[in-house]
Structure 1
């Protein structure tokens, strides 16, 4: 019997080569583009704009603890009689070699309540940063969904154009055969060939739109423009929307832009209260160790209070803080009004698109298909001319494209609704 065992070194080399060859495929995983969920997950991990927002939110969170911390204490060393005039001798700056050396530690304390307000303001700003991060993520995910839907629509439009091209080529064959039998004039053949050329030009334009949509989608994923994308699968079925009043309430409770502005109002209120606290003076406490040369050491305690004399500047800062609170509250109201208008527009667009889809899919498309089938049968029997068949084919293609466009409009409106209201109830 022949020994089929490989030498140990060759076997190990073969296994290592196989693992290295498979590593890129394992690292890449399944190709992106088939569904929008995989694209969103990829963007969450790799999009640099969202990574920046995430880091800034974490940075804001780290500012809370320092906001309530005491200032660092100060250490002082004071050399009394550094020229040694009282004792005789030369000038020196060495501790213990002068008339008296004083070591002092000073700790400053803000007035009561200031540190607590600083912590609350920093916490509110951190909450605003968190809400801003979520708003950026919703905007990014909505952009990815919109770009994927345009990629999906361009891909489906290319399929429809290729189907139409095959139908026209079939008509061309029928026209040529009937022309050879003398049943059709040459103009019918030329007309069919012109339509085929026009359809090929349309297919070129559609393929260009598909590549453009793919490049835009890759840009949102922080990938090279020519990175491959899988063919898009069918999206989830469209859903019926809740009433507009329910969506408005949901938006007020869930929208991160409103949450960010509400946190901004809270932060401005704490900062105003903190400014009012500046009417109360800060103070410092110091502890001094006196070491005279040739004498006994002693201890001193120092208490220092800031005198709030600059009243005009302080009142100006208080008015500034009040105006900032007013501006923050107005910004919140403006954002809420803007979101309500955008929500109403998106709701109306989705409802119109949904209704158009029902009419196109349930009425107009079956009628166009029936007209096409009837005209082709009549053309085969010689009871209608070529132009009638061609017009029926064009109407069917136009209806399918209108159906695709209505679906795209409805899904884009749904994406806008999800960006404004969050996950729909």
Structure 2
């Protein structure tokens, strides 16, 4: 077709050949649209690790989310602090139910030696009488068990809080990686658009030299190329910011290199909201932490009630009069619970804390339900947008672009029409990428609320 056209219209041959070359480039780029290869963008300062992993080896750090999460479990300092606090809470279980430390007393009777004659001394055995007393406090019946159970409930609450903290950290890492992935894909689209604009510039220059296009068309092409390069600078800036954010979450230097992101797993086609709500109620760690908090508050209230009953102490005394035989005494002590006003205040405090813990659980459940519904709506909307873009708008934009280029080749369309068609196609692809990012952001939020990956 091009050869016959060139034979009929000899003056148009250079422009036709250039446009034909441009169409070949466009078709090649179109064939790679479904999976554009990641490549370094202009002014990229971070070295790129190859994305293809070796056989039986994990992908390099940064290529996917799983590797980042595994790395963050051991390196993130905030999560390490939360993990240490949880371990400390577990250690409190044994100490909570332990007996109080005993007391040992040494009593020096008649240390002036007035009754026996002699000088004042503080040396045991050289005074009138030396008494060695051992006293062991004993909490009231059942108090130690309640203290151990309350400490165990608080340890379980801390463990559930650790799971909730991990889900928060995991979602933050996923979102940062998704921004990194989006910037990388935007850079690929920008490079493709820049290459197509370069081809249009060459074709427009050729037509301008033949007097078939005005100078404004050439200037417009060059202006569009400059605008696209400026857009690439913004994309690269976002990419660097995402890399710095990821490295911060991994406790690495901000400029540390990360592998180019690979394609994430396919999104679930449908998510059942009632099923998700049931799973969230049974697996969400924040809700589980509130449940353990209620149990800890209930046990603390029971322990406070147990303070109505006295504590005890037993003591064993060894009496050693100077110059006489030693003797033994046994002592039994009872604490008298007379401070009733203070004790009643502590009981009311414990009751209020139990009410607060129960209300906190209800508030957490209501918040989870609202957030889950909003995230599910965002996910469903983004999925529907993707379906419409892929099935309707993207094919239409591609067909318009191809038809406009063909018309431009034969002189039936001007440069502005071709440029507008290219811009609509790029905008459609960017909208598709944005819909994917929004859907994945919503999915990450759902996974956090449900407490597991979907």
Q: Equivalent residue for 1:240?
A: 269
Shift of 1:216: 1.0
Q: Secondary structure at the match of 1:91?
A: coil
Q: Secondary structure at the match of 1:83?
A: coil
Shift of 1:31: 3.9
Q: Equivalent residue for 1:400?
A: 429
Between 111-120 and 289-298, report the one with greater CA deviation.
Answer: 289-298
Shift of 1:242: 3.5
Residue 173 of structure 2: which of 144, 162, 177 is its match? 144
Structure 2 Cα separation of the partners of residues 64 and 113 of structure 1: 15
Shift of 1:153: 0.2
Q: Equivalent residue for 2:81?
A: 52
Q: Equivalent residue for 1:286?
A: 315
Shift of 1:243: 1.7
Structure 2 Cα separation of the partners of residues 352 and 133 of structure 1: 32
In structure 2, runs of 5+ residues without a counterpart are: 1-57
Q: Deviations over 1:48-84 (max 9, x none)?
A: 0110011000000000000000001100111111111
Asked whether 1:346 is paired with 2:375, we answer: yes
In structure 1, runs of 5+ residues without a counterpart are: 1-28
Shift of 1:30: 6.5
Q: Secondary structure at the match of 2:307?
A: helix
Q: Equivalent residue for 1:132?
A: 161
Structure 1 Cα separation of the partners of residues 153 and 364 of structure 2: 18
Question: TM-score normalized by structure 2?
Answer: 0.86
What is the aligned-residue RMSD (CA, Å)? 1.0
Q: Equivalent residue for 2:236?
A: 207
Structure 1's 122 and 286: CA in aligned 2 closer, same or farther, altered over 3 A?
A: same
Q: Equivalent residue for 1:15?
A: none
Structure 1 Cα separation of the partners of residues 230 and 281 of structure 2: 49
Q: Equivalent residue for 2:189?
A: 160
Structure 1 Cα separation of the partners of residues 88 and 128 of structure 2: 50
Q: Deviations over 1:19-72 (max 9, x none)?
A: xxxxxxxxxx96411111111111011110110011000000000000000001
Asked whether 1:272 is paired with 2:290, we answer: no
Q: Secondary structure at the match of 1:334?
A: helix
Shift of 1:240: 2.8
Residue 327 of structure 1: which of 347, 356, 366 is its match? 356
Q: Secondary structure at the match of 1:308?
A: coil
Q: Deviations over 1:191-244 (max 9, x none)?
A: 111111111111111111111111111111111111111110000000134321
Residue 116 of structure 1: which of 128, 137, 145 is its match? 145
Residue 64 of structure 2: which of 28, 31, 35 is its match? 35
Structure 2 Cα separation of the partners of residues 198 and 242 of structure 1: 40
For the Cα contact (< 8 Å) 2:77–2:251, is it kept in 1? yes
Structure 2 Cα separation of the partners of residues 193 and 289 of structure 1: 104
Q: Equivalent residue for 1:193?
A: 222
Asked whether 1:227 is paired with 2:251, we answer: no
Structure 1 Cα separation of the partners of residues 278 and 299 of structure 2: 27
Q: Secondary structure at the match of 1:219?
A: helix
In the TM superposition, structure 1's runs of 4+ consecutive aligned residues that sit over 6 Å from their partners are none
**1:54-69 maps to which residues of 2 (within 5 A)?**
54-69=83-98
Q: Secondary structure at the match of 1:63?
A: helix
Asked whether 1:76 is paired with 2:105, we answer: yes
Q: Secondary structure at the match of 2:257?
A: coil
How many equivalent residue pairs? 397
Shift of 1:124: 0.6
Q: Deviations over 1:326-346 (max 9, x none)?
A: 111111111111111110000
Shift of 1:89: 0.8
Structure 2 Cα separation of the partners of residues 223 and 350 of structure 1: 32
For the Cα contact (< 8 Å) 2:59–2:67, is it kept in 1? no
Asked whether 1:368 is paired with 2:397, we answer: yes
Q: Equivalent residue for 2:343?
A: 314
For the Cα contact (< 8 Å) 2:208–2:218, is it kept in 1? yes
Structure 2 Cα separation of the partners of residues 366 and 376 of structure 1: 15
For the Cα contact (< 8 Å) 2:286–2:364, is it kept in 1? yes
